[in-house]
Amino acid sequence: MALSVALDIDPGIDDALAVALALHSQEISLDLVTTVAGNGPLEMTTRNALRVLHHLGADHVPVIAGAAKPLHAPFLGAIDYHGYDALGGIPLEDSPREANQGSATDALYEFASAKHGDRILVATGPLTNVALAFQRHPQLPSVLRELVIMGGAFGLTRYGTGNSTPVAEFNIWQDPDAAAVVFASAVPITIVGLDVTNDPTTALDADDLAHLRAGTTPTARMAADITAFALKKHPTCALHDPLALAVLLDRTLFGFAHGTLEVYTAADSDMGRTILSPDRAPSRPPGAVAASVDGPRFKQMFLSRMMEN
Ligand code: RIB
Ligand code: CA
């Protein structure tokens, strides 16, 4: 039985690849997409979610726009990394549909409460929508089966340092107050940070681009265009968000450390820093933080699914 999953995303080139991976994975059913300001402004990330789903033949997946700015921090974005349209400028036509009306926070609650304890939320952008949903619907953390997050840098490997600042990863740094709300909640959290997503064995290189270029499907074409864009600016194309989704596809790809998740929220040089504390917090379950990954096995799975019809 496929896992019913909602994605909260800020596409974003790697978010787009996570959507593609979700749609090509029998293990899960993608039943809702909510969008958040992050890699680009909300209207851009929402347009991109619609474009990607349309390109991949998934116009049946509801898309609801969420928060246009963080809870308190200023919105800064990451256009420099993701390109002028936050999708690498790749040639994806606009979707013929608009986003669904309604509130993303209510949609997330309705999604989760439709099957109490059976629904999973994967968040690959700033946690603003998730925090607002938890504040508006206090039962939501207990109704969700699991929250999988791409975010943080916990110092668990030599890659576990920041990418927005020396100590902070972008999703957490862009809205540290939202991360604090989410980390303090009762939801079971599995978090995949830069400790593993910046491991070079998980990233796409020129050989992988050549492999994708041999594909003829819409998914392979999109993945190749995104990879080519990334390789113009960086030695590899990092797969931060697909790695977070992969927790639901094959948990044995990862090793996990457990403890209490903490985040620095003060507006200083530590803002957005994440810590895995050994101290128990009785009010919430311990978080599981990805501490190792089988990069080659993950890439093999990712690439084979990008090439599927
Ligand atoms: O730090 C990497 C994360 O920030 C990824 O989710 C990327 O899409 C950006 O949102
Ligand atoms: Ca993202």
Q: How far is the CA of 102 from the centre of ligand 2 (A)?
A: 22
Q: Kindly state the average pLDDT of the residues 82-93.
A: 95
Block residue for tokens 């049946």: 60
Residue 213: the pLDDT is 98
Residues with CB under 6 A from ligand 1: 10, 12, 14-15, 38-39, 78, 124-125, 150, 163, 169-171, 240-241
Q: Which of 55, 82, 211, 240 is catalytic?
A: 240
Ligand 1: which of 8, 161, 171 to mutate, judged by most atoms within 8 Å of the beta carbon? 171
- Distance in angstroms (rounded) separating the CA atoms of residues 194 and 166: 12
Domains of the chain and CATH, by start = 3-306 (3.90.245.10)
Q: Which parts of the chain fold into alpha helices (H)?
A: 13-23, 42-55, 79-82, 104-113, 128-136, 140-143, 170-174, 176-183, 194-197, 206-213, 218-233, 240-249, 295-306
Q: How far is the CA of 139 from the centre of ligand 2 (A)?
A: 26
Q: Which ligand is located closest to the Cα atom of residue 243?
A: 1
Residue 226: the pLDDT is 98
Q: Tokens representing 38?
A: 């992050």
Backbone angles phi, psi at 52, to 5 degrees: -65, -45
CA distances from 239 to 96, 198, 203, 286 (A): 28, 8, 6, 26
Q: Tokens representing 150?
A: 């791409």
Using alpha carbons, select from 302, 274, 271 the residue that is nearest to residue 289: 274
141 CB-side CA count, 13 A: 19
Residue 79: the pLDDT is 78
Instruction: Give buried/exposed letters for 153-183 (b at 16+ CB in 10 A, else e).
Output: bbbbbebbbbbbbebbbbbbbbbbbbbbbbb
Ligand 1: which of 9, 21, 39, 75 to mutate, judged by most atoms within 8 Å of the beta carbon? 39
Q: Tokens representing 288?
A: 């599981």
Q: How many CB atoms lie within 10 A of CB 115?
A: 11
Backbone angles phi, psi at 305, to 5 degrees: -75, -30
Q: Tokens representing 307?
A: 């090439």
Q: Tokens representing 46?
A: 């929402």
Q: How far is the CA of 164 from the centre of ligand 2 (A)?
A: 13
Determine whether 240 is an active site residue.
Answer: yes
pLDDT digits over 278-293, tens only? 988 888 899 999 999 9
Average pLDDT, the chain: 97
What is the number of the ligand 1 atom nearest to the C-alpha of 38?
A: 10
pLDDT digits over 254-264, tens only? 999 999 999 99
Block residue for tokens 């096995």: 297
Q: Kindly state the average pLDDT of the residues 250-257.
A: 98
Backbone angles phi, psi at 289, to 5 degrees: -110, 130
Burial class (CB in 10 A: 0-12, 13-18, 19+), 69: middle
Percent of the chain with pLDDT over 70: 100
- Distance in angstroms (rounded) separating the CA atoms of residues 31 and 307: 22
Q: Hey, what amino acid is at 183?
A: F
- Distance in angstroms (rounded) separating the CA atoms of residues 35 and 107: 12
What is the number of the ligand 1 atom nearest to the C-alpha of 12?
A: 8
Q: How far is the CA of 11 from the centre of ligand 2 (A)?
A: 6
Backbone angles phi, psi at 292, to 5 degrees: -155, 160
pLDDT digits over 147-199, tens only? 999 999 999 999 999 999 999 999 999 999 999 999 999 999 999 999 999 99
Q: How far is the CA of 282 from the centre of ligand 1 (A)?
A: 30
- Residue 249, helix vs strand vs coil: helix
Q: Is the pLDDT of residue 204 over 90?
A: yes
Taking the whole predicted model, whether its pTM rises above 0.95 is answered as: yes
Q: Which ligand is located closest to the Cα atom of residue 239?
A: 1
Ligand 1: which of 9, 10, 245 to mutate, judged by most atoms within 8 Å of the beta carbon? 10
- Distance in angstroms (rounded) separating the CA atoms of residues 77 and 82: 10
Q: Which ligand is located closest to the Cα atom of residue 77?
A: 1
Residue 236: the pLDDT is 97
Report which protein residue has its CA nearest ligand 1's atom 1: 170
DSSP state of 106: H
Q: Is the pLDDT of residue 81 over 90?
A: no
Furthest CA-CA distance within the chain: 52
